[in-house]
Copies of this chain bind each other. A is one copy, B any other.
Amino acid sequence: MIPLGGLGEFGMNCMALRWQDDIIVIDAGLMFPEEELLGVDIVVPDISYLTENRDKVKAILLTHGHEDHIGGLPWILSELNVPVYGTEFTLALVEGKLEEHRLLDDADLNEMIPGRRITLGPFSVMPIRVTHSLVDCVALAIHTPVGVVLHTGDFKVDLSPPDGKPFDLHAFAELGKQGVLALLQDSTNVDRRGYTPSEKAVRPRLDEIFGQAKKKLFFSCFSSSIHRIRLAMELAHNHGRKVAIIGRSLDNTTEIAQDLGYLDLPQGLVINPGQIKDTPANKLCIMISGTQGEPMSALSRAAVNNHKFAHIDAGDTVLMSSRVIPGNEKSIYRVIDHLERRDANVIYDDGASGLIHVSGHGSQEELRLMINLVRPKFFIPVHGDYRHLKRHVELAGSMGVVEKAILLEDGDVLELDKNSATKNGKVTVGRVCIDSGGAAADVVEDLVIRDRKHLSEDGIVLPIIAINKRTGKPENAPEIVMRGMAIDDPEMIAEARQVVQRTLDGSSGEEKADYGVIKEKIRTDLKRYIQKSTSRRPLIMPVILEI
């Protein structure tokens, strides 16, 4: 067992299982970069171990469709085109992603059906239905020559799932009875006591908010939260509001959910964004992407009055049905402040707004429940920072049902046989930074996957803008510093300065005051210009000097 990502960090989940000359991989996720990695869009696991053993890799199995489980697929498949297995909904999300990267035609996608076994060389894999914030999620019971390795994927024990597809407790109990060699369990909420509430628990408070909204109601949630989207649409219908959907990812997932029968929408409920202006404010529910204050998201742009269709007026309600992900506070609160200045009524997860969001991950009692049902010989926590893995080892170790709880980190090799689990050596792991082009700009572009090594060969460009805090206006013309671009063409630098100047001229005062937004705009525009004129893709890091 060789974890390649997600054991020691949140995101980029990826786990390899090997038996002699056969390797299967569970999940292929991405993570979003830390603030220190300016200029990078996404981060994926280093898969040297897989490429060095490329003839042995038999398949990638996906537990569900969240970005931290499938987002690294385009990168991995472009290096190593092996068959991919996932449930219907997961594959639908994967298809869109591969299509964007022009990898779909060559991909070998295979549907997994909960309860139906798949044989992959020495491995026999049984997908088991679990509940989570997303639909169509599975745990994987992998029968190997030395015993069953059970990977929970992401889960919570939701006993009243909104889609009526129950958590398959029986399958886990049955496995526990037969004997499980190793349990790999999601550590995300190991710090939380008790049980995570059901997804249904948010309904009463959301219903109340829909009932009380006087003018337009903006509803924002993670674009993959199909349960939540369905609930919001149902409530909109009940309260006589039409629904307009704004934001590419939201558009995409709702379309997939509709195609696959997860959303059954009444005729005429959904209108085009263009129809918003012709609909009375109190008859509108606008579903809008951008719960985390992403600078170029629809909600962020609407908040500074820079969106074509979404206009926030005084008295509108903005409901952010999501959590504040640690690290995103500043950008989220910035968006909220902009919304409040437009006199919107902003409802977000501040601890005093009632139950407007629930987690998709099981809390301590659900983790214990699973361990108790499964009674594994060995326990290995997955998905978490070091401290989460450590606490999860302690939690499992103190229950009296596990023979050994093992703290494994990315790159550790764990050798398992019927009776023992031994750490034996290390493989290469790490993070690969990817610059995905214009994805953040909410526009489908020709995305090219590149790692940072190529980028650093392509050089670095630092546009430096001095903004006068008093006037909010840039002082002097923008400066451009380039390094390692091989070209040192003064004319190009002059043109690049003009590009930045045009971006500045075309931005509102509010945008210029919001450094997150203005930096992202400069980065996007400059990237486009440099690619066009040189077909290079340098790392672009805007620097704002406040003077």
Contacts and interface: CB of A to CB of B under 8 A. Distances in A.
A387 interface: yes
Contact of A37 (B352, B470, B546): B546
Given A191-B350, A456-B547, A464-B483, A330 B326 contact: yes
A543 interface: yes
Contacts of A352: 191-193
B333 A385 contact: yes
A488 B337 CA distance: 44
Which 5 pairs show the lowest CB-CB distances between chains A and B?
Answer: A326-B329, A36-B515, A430-B469, A340-B387, A337-B386
Nearest to A470: B430
15 contacts: A35-B330, A36-B544, A191-B352, A193-B352, A326-B329, A327-B329, A337-B385, A428-B470, A430-B470, A452-B545, A452-B546, A456-B466, A462-B462, A481-B483, A541-B543
Interface in A462-503: 462, 464, 466, 469-470, 479, 481, 483
A296 interface: no
Interface residues of A, number: 53
Contacts of A545: 452, 456, 460, 539
A46 interface: yes
A428 to B, nearest CB: 6
Interface in A506-547: 515-516, 519, 539, 541, 543-547
Nearest to A431: B469
Given A36-B515, A46-B469, 6 more contacts: A34-B515, A37-B546, A346-B387, A429-B470, A431-B469, A453-B547
Interface in A60-100: none
A352 B364 CA distance: 11
Contacts of A46: 469-470
A346 B391 CA distance: 11
A191 B336 CA distance: 14
Interface string A296-340: 000000000000000000000000000000110110010011001
Contact of A546 (B387, B433, B483, B547): B433
Contacts of A36: 515-516, 519, 544
